[in-house]
Amino acid sequence: MTALFALATSLLWGLADFGGGLLTRRTPALTVVVASQSIAAVVLGAIVVATGGWSTAGPQLWFAVAAGLVGPIALLSFYKALALGPMGVVSPLGSLAVAVPIGVGLFLGERPGLLQIAGIAVAVAGVVLAGGPQLRGAPVQRQAILLTLIAAAGFGTVFVLIAEASSSVTGLFLALFVQRVTNVVTGGAALAVSVRRGAPALPEGGFPWASLPALAFVGLADVAANGTYSVAAQHGPVTVAAVLASLYPVVTALAARGLLRERLRAVQAAGAGLALFGTVLLATG
């Protein structure tokens, strides 16, 4: 069950990142984040009301609040790092997020077998290579590396927090709703500051109503990914769940290859193959 839900997480996050990347080509990134998360919050709010999720409210919801605060900060740091570039260095470094939940799992006493350790090493190496690392060329600014490491730490922390935010299905809906509301408030505040500094909040044509279905998909896929990861982490080793869930860059790269006809570099193709092989080792270990 852990492997199945964790792989579903990587699929959903990979597709959400792909959709979000396409949307940010036409709409400011902060607007995409706030709009997509707002749609997800509305849908989750309706689900919480329908399922009576409020009855499960408890101290664990603070984990969801924390995840909602950390997530936008990590995302903004990552976007800023990508802007500073080069992306061929920044993107693979972002996959270091997996180190946080792995470290927490080991600290809590999880001890993967030798086959699983090999699978973790192979899968993580594959994810880094699938990002198409730039091994030479333009110099990398220290600020870009620092921001990327902050983003990776933030993403990894969200992994840990959301897994602790609930212990039941209805509780999970409530936790995800609280996380999304916090995301919207935090992202909205950042958007307001950005607008005050002169950055546009909308593209030239106004709000992209035609992109509303895509915004909804990105927001809901992100929510579903958080949910499946929470289930995976609660029903199996966090070390395994985190590594399998971190395969989402491979999904994004393959989606770009299949839908946009982008050509995979040799290092990316090799990385995708290693990631899949590492998955097999983890699933059978």
pTM here is: 0.80
Residue 283 has pLDDT above 70, yes or no: no
* Separate counts of helices (H) and strands (E) for the chain: 12, 0
Phi, psi dihedrals of residue 86, rounded to the nearest 5°: -75, 145
Name the DSSP letter for residue 24.
T
Largest CA distance in the chain: 56
Whether 118 and 31 have beta carbons less than 8 Å apart is answered as no
More confident residue, 140 or 250: 250
- 16-63 pLDDT per residue, tens: 878 887 888 788 888 888 999 999 999 999 999 998 888 888 888 899
Bond preceding residue 86 cis, omega within 30 of 0: yes
Average pLDDT across the chain, whole number: 81
- 232-244 pLDDT per residue, tens: 888 878 878 888 8
Give the Cα separation of 261 and 162 in Å (integer): 35
Structure-token pair, residue 211? 């992109």
- Residue pointed to by tokens 């919480």: 48
Q: CA angle, 257 as apex, 256 and 260 as ends, to 5°?
A: 60
- Mean pLDDT, range 150-163, rounded to an integer: 86
- Mean pLDDT, range 3-16, rounded to an integer: 89
More confident residue, 285 or 176: 176
**For residue 177, how far is the Cα from the chain centroid?**
17
